Structure 1
Amino acid sequence: MSGLQDPARYAQFLSAQLRAREPIEACVARSLAGDMAPPAVSHLLRADLAELGSPPAGPDLRFAMPDKAEPIGLSWAIAGSHLGNRMMLAKLSGHGELPTRFLESAEMIAFWSRLRPHLDRELPEDVMRRAAQAAEAVFDLFLESMLPTTRTLAA
């Protein structure tokens, strides 16, 4: 068994997602509202990890929107990430009984539908640049969340 069909690798993936999404969700709760606010999904990640018997591991990460960044960039990055999750869900179908609450999130599909009209509008170039800054900050955090973590034991 290879890839995400392996429960240990799948748990690593979910744990990395949780490490990134929790600080993003905290930022969203503080500063975004309405159609631009992605729904929280960390509870789904925690439930999937618990079912796998794998507690989340690793240091806490922090996230803040760059100064003057456009929130639509954060929203687009999160929504696009979920579309990728749906592709993973299709690949996992028929490969055992892995928990898929996070990958199946109906709230994220509904969010994509609410966000689409905002994405289809033409935006001025400066707004697009600031949206790209927000998206890049999200992608950077996801990359950081995938770095190997070390656990230390108290002596």
Structure 2
Amino acid sequence: MTDPVPPRQSGLIRQDLADLGDLPHHDLPIFNAEDPREAWGVAWTLAGSSLGNRTLLHRRRKAGLHGADRFLGDEAMPRYWAELRPRIEVPMAEATHEHAIRGARRVFDIFLAVHRSATERAAA
């Protein structure tokens, strides 16, 4: 089984942030995998997290907010999720499973760090 490679999304996010008058902050954590098998957890986390994008986009539009929606409206990640899902439903070796969970947890740690940083900046 080859390692999953999600579609790039950072360019879309960077453009949306620029539209909103913000820039990515360079003091945020960087993901460094300890093992290539963590890619399974990273892919699952990123692709699975995109499932709510359509809902967020709909809510933004319903609230009259337009623009800065490249990331939320992009179809690449939902298509990737549809391809990835059958691959992650196949049983994996226990070691691969453990590393995938570790990779997913590390991505969620980064999500939390980004949220904390944004909250601190907004409060300042």
* TM tier relative to shorter chain: 0.7 to 0.9
Moved over 6 A (4+): none
Structure 1, unaligned runs of 5 or more: 1-33
Q: Which structure has the higher relative contact order (CA within 8 Å, separation 6+)?
A: 2
Q: What TM-score, normalized to structure 2? A: 0.79
2:111 to 103, 121, 142: 142
Query: Is the 2:40–2:100 Cα contact (8 Å) retained in structure 1?
Result: yes
Deviations 1:93-118 (A, max 9, x none): 32222421101111111211221221
Identity %: 36
Within 5 A, what are the aligned runs for 1:61-100? 61-67=29-35, 69-96=37-64, 97-100=66-69
- Is 1:105 aligned to 2:105, yes or no? no
- What's 2:84 paired with? 115
Q: What TM-score, normalized to structure 1? A: 0.65
> Within 1, Cα distance between the matches of 2:24 and 2:54?
22
Structure 2, unaligned runs of 5 or more: none
> Within 1, Cα distance between the matches of 2:117 and 2:88?
34
Kindly provide the amino acid, as one letter, of the partner of residue 39 in structure 2: P
Number of residue pairs matched? 118
Cα distance, 1:85 vs structure 2: 2.2
